[in-house]
Structure 1
């Protein structure tokens, strides 16, 4: 999200927010406090035959995905890094999201804060977001501004310059962000605790934004180390969609991204969650909550490791049960029995290994 400016909803409020190794089957029954958000997630690779993507790989190993759509003369330019909160070392939770903020703090070519101003001055908009398994940066611009944003994005991929003067005030920003979006929101507070209870060993139990006591001690050196370890072209995917062809995109991608040297990248480690052998319950009471909300979560088969083939039937089941106001769960509990103001059943897909 953009520091000191308009922000996109944090990952825990976005429909694409939850990506993980093991799926999660969740049931939510709510009053007026909040309604659960379906969490069906786009993956790195587009489905051929749906978006008809063209793909190629640069000389340094950076993957490129192009989805041509010439209906309007605009493009979306995105760089997805294969690193997120689940790749953080123990004790520095929130560093992936913190670095997302710091990526707007400038290079020798683009001063701190100028990146977004330049995009806006050229009629575009930009932002970024972090999840457990990825961090992504995007710009929406007119097609004749594509080269401009590619140049700036490639610049900060390898030339980010951080100083104490920009890092530590921004640390205060993310701490305040946590206060506003987690600590002041009962629904998000209990969601965070449910995750931490559901995953007792796996890093998906650690909040993306970080635990407050660790966020307060994050340093410039830790941010730089995380940046140098993971932000490499061979650990990134360039996704461009809109009014551009492969013939136009390839030379630009090679010029700006292909010139960045590949670097060794750490192995991504995802530990196995131990079997659940006892019931776990989280209860949150808050004077701000006027109506009760109940959630039940189950660890479900992973889309990648589901040998029995249960993952996709569960997705179909969630659509039957709560795929709109005529679905069985909503119709029964909300419309007919009138014992709830909203009801939802859904699955969360997470592509970590």
Structure 2
């Protein structure tokens, strides 16, 4: 019997025996790239260890692209992408199409009456609300619920999900390799012929997600307040879930316009990793995704964030465990300093060997947990270098804040030693193993690096960038970017107990 070892088991040996350049070349032999006539780009990598294929559809659109007054719309469409098409998810498409149109007609009449402000007729508003509820119920009665999901899962599809971030929207799942063509059919169909059914029911789901993730979470509220304070103009100030008032007023035509503007083939990249024949994949891509009509790429103009000229602070009342977040303005991921900033982050917060953990958690025990993040909330535009701390029992936010500043001053005044710098670089090198280990993660990484840098090979060559970083570089970027005038401090505090009045 011939044993077959998964690539994951071999990767440590490969990295030890090969240079990054050699490893890159070995991957290049397994990667096939092609672009359809409509502009949609595919990256296919063969990995025949198991009869499974992972697919990743990367849309170069995220919450930064939400229209003004409609924050969360990119996330709303992500939910719509699972609602099916005119042939999947309906009991009677002709009747459902008419019912969906009727919903919007009534909704527009309701909004028109409400728009009269003080002159609106309350009885007419109430009657239109009842008419709208009935119209929505009729449209929903024609839906074959969750049919898209059932088709995928009944054919062996696994781990189907999606996510909306600031810079991108991602759709992903895996299929047995003998069901590849079904994926091409299903995935292309939902972007060729999406039906925005159950829109208002799903709007309520999105609103509830915000309630759970932000309004009912002290850390969620803190991060939202921090972003809204740190950014005065750029859309990074808005979290992907959107603001409550915007979500509650979404209309189906809003999401349809967003889809037409941003879900164009040239704005999509698809990664395929696993037991796949590239030539067969290309043929199916032409057959199914070639149906998507070419449309112009959306404009990428963004409001520039004005220079910050002093520290900003925001406090959020919360009875929960205190929490502290400190954010410094930093350049985008394309900056020549990006690699040095990543190494600085690893020096500060590389697990139990990072300076922050050793000082604040292990030695002085003033924090339950603490760390940093080199890039937040996105990287396409100038972002934030983030620090976070959960103070320990009996230790205040103020104490932890001052201790964190001492650590920051340390990396500004004292160069990192050679042993620490090499350890950090070794761990960054090891992180490449994790990126390459699974088909799903690899398909995702190939797409994100291709879209961000124009070449998936940056996944490998960024290690060369890390290797070039010196102790002087780490110290320089700390001095350049971790400065008080570009700092935003956000923290929670326990509100004072209220005293009830009485006679």
Bigger shift: residues 168-177 or 103-112: 103-112
Structure of higher CA gyration radius:
2
**CA–CA distance in 2 between the matches of 1:79 and 1:159?**
16
**Which residue, 372, 380, 384 being the options, matches 1:352?**
380
5+ residue gaps in structure 2? 1-22, 90-144, 382-503
Secondary structure, aligned partner of 1:257: helix
Tell me the residue number matched to 1:336.
363
**CA–CA distance in 2 between the matches of 1:295 and 1:208?**
19
**Which residue, 305, 310, 320 being the options, matches 1:273?**
305
Aligned ranges for residues 190-201 of structure 1 at < 5 Å?
190-201=222-233
Q: Against the structure 1 CA distance between its residues 66 and 316, is the aligned structure 2 distance closer, same or farther, given a 3 Å change threshold? A: same
Q: Against the structure 1 CA distance between its residues 48 and 274, is the aligned structure 2 distance closer, same or farther, given a 3 Å change threshold? A: farther
State the Cα deviation string for residues 30-52 of structure 1 (Å, max 9, x = none): xxxxxxxxxxxxxxxxx955854
- 1:323 aligned onto 2:355: no
Tell me the residue number matched to 1:124.
157
Cα deviation for residue 110 of structure 1 reads 1.3
Tell me the residue number matched to 1:5.
none
**CA–CA distance in 2 between the matches of 1:347 and 1:101?**
30
Kept after mapping to 1: 8 A contact 2:333/2:380: no
Kept after mapping to 1: 8 A contact 2:192/2:291: no
Tell me the residue number matched to 1:295.
325
Cα deviation for residue 267 of structure 1 reads 0.8
> Relative contact order: is structure 1 or structure 2 higher (C-alpha 8 Å, sep ≥ 6)?
1
Kept after mapping to 2: 8 A contact 1:158/1:232: no
State the Cα deviation string for residues 77-96 of structure 1 (Å, max 9, x = none): 12111111111110111111
Tell me the residue number matched to 1:140.
174
Tell me the residue number matched to 1:113.
146
- 1:311 aligned onto 2:338: yes
Kept after mapping to 2: 8 A contact 1:158/1:231: no
**CA–CA distance in 2 between the matches of 1:303 and 1:78?**
22
Secondary structure, aligned partner of 1:139: strand
Cα deviation for residue 109 of structure 1 reads 2.2
Tell me the residue number matched to 2:289.
257
**CA–CA distance in 1 between the matches of 2:196 and 2:68?**
23
Tell me the residue number matched to 1:222.
254
Under a length normalisation based on structure 1, what TM-score does the superposition of the two structures give? 0.81
Tell me the residue number matched to 1:154.
188
Secondary structure, aligned partner of 1:284: strand
**CA–CA distance in 2 between the matches of 1:50 and 1:311?**
27
**CA–CA distance in 1 between the matches of 2:203 and 2:235?**
22
Tell me the residue number matched to 1:24.
none
Secondary structure, aligned partner of 1:352: coil
Secondary structure, aligned partner of 1:268: coil
Kept after mapping to 2: 8 A contact 1:192/1:207: yes
5+ residue gaps in structure 1? 1-46
Kept after mapping to 2: 8 A contact 1:333/1:343: yes
More helix by share: 2
**CA–CA distance in 1 between the matches of 2:80 and 2:188?**
15
**CA–CA distance in 1 between the matches of 2:288 and 2:87?**
14
**Which residue, 33, 38, 53 being the options, matches 1:75?**
53
Secondary structure, aligned partner of 2:70: coil
Under a length normalisation based on structure 2, what TM-score does the superposition of the two structures give? 0.58
Task: Count matched residues.
Answer: 300
Bigger shift: residues 116-125 or 219-228: 116-125
State the Cα deviation string for residues 6-53 of structure 1 (Å, max 9, x = none): xxxxxxxxxxxxxxxxxxxxxxxxxxxxxxxxxxxxxxxxx9558544
Tell me the residue number matched to 2:64.
86
Kept after mapping to 2: 8 A contact 1:110/1:152: no
